[in-house]
Amino acid sequence: MQRFFIDAQGYLIGSYDGPDPHPFGENTTALDHGPTDGRMRWDGTAWCLDKSILLEVAAEKRWRVEQGGTTWNSWALPTDDRSQSKYQAELAAVNEGVRLDGDFWKFPHGFEPITNTQIRAMAIQARQHVLGSFAHEAQLQGLIMLGQITTPEQIENWEGWQ
CA distance 12 to 10: 7
CA distance 13 to 22: 12
Task: Identify the band that residue 29 occupies on the pLDDT scale cut at 50, 70 and 90.
Answer: confident
* Mean pLDDT across 3-22: 82
Q: Which domain holds residue 114?
A: 51-161
Residue 44 and residue 107 share a domain: no
Residue 130 and residue 82 share a domain: yes
Residue 100 and residue 38 share a domain: no
Residue 61 and residue 41 share a domain: no
Q: What percent of the chain clears pLDDT 90, i.e. is strictly above it?
A: 62
Task: Identify the band that residue 83 occupies on the pLDDT scale cut at 50, 70 and 90.
Answer: very high
Residue 39 and residue 69 share a domain: no
Residue 57 and residue 45 share a domain: no
Residue 32 and residue 90 share a domain: no
Task: Identify the band that residue 33 occupies on the pLDDT scale cut at 50, 70 and 90.
Answer: confident
Residue 40 and residue 67 share a domain: no
**How many structural domains does the chain have?**
2
Residue 66 and residue 27 share a domain: no
Quote the DSSP letter at residue 42: E
Q: Note the pLDDT of residue 89.
A: 97
Distances from the Cα of 124 to the Cα of 107, 131, 139, 140, 161, angstroms: 16, 10, 22, 24, 19
Of 67, 41, 57, whose CA–CA distance to 141 is shortest? 57
pLDDT at residue 39 greater than cutoff 90: no
pLDDT at residue 143 greater than cutoff 90: yes
pLDDT at residue 30 greater than cutoff 90: no
Residue 142 and residue 64 share a domain: yes
pLDDT at residue 145 greater than cutoff 80: yes
Provide the pairing of β-strand 3-6 with 70-72.
Answer: unpaired
Residue 155 and residue 103 share a domain: yes
Residue 107 and residue 149 share a domain: yes
pLDDT tens column, 105-119? 999 999 999 999 999
| Segments of 62-129 assigned E as strands | 70-72, 75-77, 104-107, 110-113
